[in-house]
Structure 1
Amino acid sequence: MPGRYYLTDPVAGLDNPPRRNIAPGEEVAVITKAGPRLMRWGLIPNGRVNARGRPVLETIINVRSETIFDKSAFEGLRRAVVPASGWYEWTGQKGRKQPWRISRKDGVQILFAAVFDVWKAPGGQEVPQVATVTCPPSADVIDIHHRMGFILELSDVPTWLDADESKASTLLKPFPDGRLFVEKADDVDWNST
């Protein structure tokens, strides 16, 4: 989680049209300490190699809050925020899955905690990339998925972006129960953005 999300509100400083279906691998709006920018959603940790010493090109779209500050694969990552209007989850059996749309009950934009860096691709191309941070679900989401994106309050954004790891880690807890709205999302065209 999230594996798909939507953003219908503009992000100040970026030319980002409304999008109802944002998928991994796409360019997304991201807020960093230096300001807003566009990045590819999906992180290839810099410097990871397999047993033969070849680069590992596995893309990570989500990072667990429980291990974000402990795993060597995430060393040196900078913190960011991914704004969203909401996200999608699915339940049910393959071929007959029910999509669900999740948003804040108060209508405020969701601010997912995230991490980013710039991946240096073979050939020298530099690709800004981002992954969202996940945590255990709130009571609103637990029947739909076992994880959810870590949602920041607007007042916590400066701490997440700029504080040291010990202070930033104090923010990593599930969103309070009763504050998310969950509804069926049968009206989404999953083949378009």
Structure 2
Amino acid sequence: MCASYEARFSITELVRLLKDAEAPLDLPGGLPNLEPRDEVRPTNLAPVILATAGEGAATTRLIDQRFGFPLPAGRKGGPVINYRSEGRTLGNGARGGRCLVPASGFYEFTGDRYPKTRWRLSAADGQPLMLAAVWRAGGQDQPDAFALLTAEPGPDVAPYHSRGVLPLPVGALADWLFDRSPAADLLVPPPAGTLVAELKPRVAQG
């Protein structure tokens, strides 16, 4: 389960990566400034990448959404931030669908006592991670929101958690965003050596 992630990357990195993936970003307003963030937490607004709706060339867009689906009315608890991928048909529609969440790393915790040990997992090649996610349109007075997809952990994540988020390789990004391949074919844990882990304790606020 990934309860927070790091977002320290530049817009030029995202533009280059998505161009290489044949899912180019459409930025009609020019290159936006992306604030580096050490930790994106549930209910925070954060950038996500979606397929651009409509006819014409296959392009993508970058928008801010809320991290976590709100619970249905009458249910108590925090937002749904992780969404099991197994056994689901995940496609694109008018009010929700596939998306990617760019991240420079994500956090997992180990240990039985507070404070638990915090680990940052990031790409071994130093590139931004593109985490598979799904989004839903907001209701009245609610913004659009996203949740990170999870599966059985790959070998890099297994020492830290029994579930893992799903960073997709460049070659799978367009197929995921444009709904060209079944979810089950794309949502597989990355092979060993894709991610590296480092201790990353929270800095005390004072």
TM-score (norm 2): 0.77
- Within 5 Å, which residues of 2 pair with 1:94-113? 94-113=113-132
Which whole-Å deviations, capped at 9, do the CAs of 1:34-74 have from their partners, x for residues lacking one? Answer: 200000000137xx5xxxxx55475210111104328xxxx
CA separation in 2, counterparts of 1:82 and 1:118?
A: 16
**Structure 1 residues without counterparts, runs of 5 or longer:** 49-53, 71-75
CA separation in 2, counterparts of 1:87 and 1:126?
A: 26
- TM-superposed deviation, 1:169: 2.5
Give the aligned partner of residue 156 of structure 2.
Answer: 140
Further displaced range: 5-14 or 154-163: 5-14
RMSD (Å), alpha carbons: 2.5
User: How many pairs does the alignment contain?
Assistant: 177
Structure 1 residues 155 and 99, CA, compared in 2 at 3 Å: closer, same or farther?
same
- TM-superposed deviation, 1:127: 1.0
Give the aligned partner of residue 169 of structure 2.
Answer: 153
**Structure 2 residues without counterparts, runs of 5 or longer:** 16-30, 53-60
Give the aligned partner of residue 51 of structure 1.
Answer: none
| SS of residue matched to 1:170 | helix
Extract structure 1 runs of 4+ deviating beyond 4 A: 54-58
Counterpart of 2:147, as a letter, is A
TM-score (norm 1): 0.81
What is the percent sequence identity of the aligned residues? 30
| SS of residue matched to 1:88 | strand
Further displaced range: 153-162 or 10-19: 10-19
| Contact 1:135 1:173 (C-alpha < 8 Å) held by counterparts | yes
- Within 5 Å, which residues of 2 pair with 1:69-88? 69=89, 77-88=96-107
- TM-superposed deviation, 1:163: 1.9
Structure 1 residues 77 and 191, CA, compared in 2 at 3 Å: closer, same or farther?
farther
1:65 aligns to 2:81 (yes or no): no
| Contact 2:86 2:184 (C-alpha < 8 Å) held by counterparts | no
CA separation in 1, counterparts of 2:132 and 2:204?
A: 25
Give the aligned partner of residue 26 of structure 1.
Answer: 44
| Contact 1:14 1:37 (C-alpha < 8 Å) held by counterparts | no
Q: Compare the two structures and name the one with the higher strand fraction.
A: 1
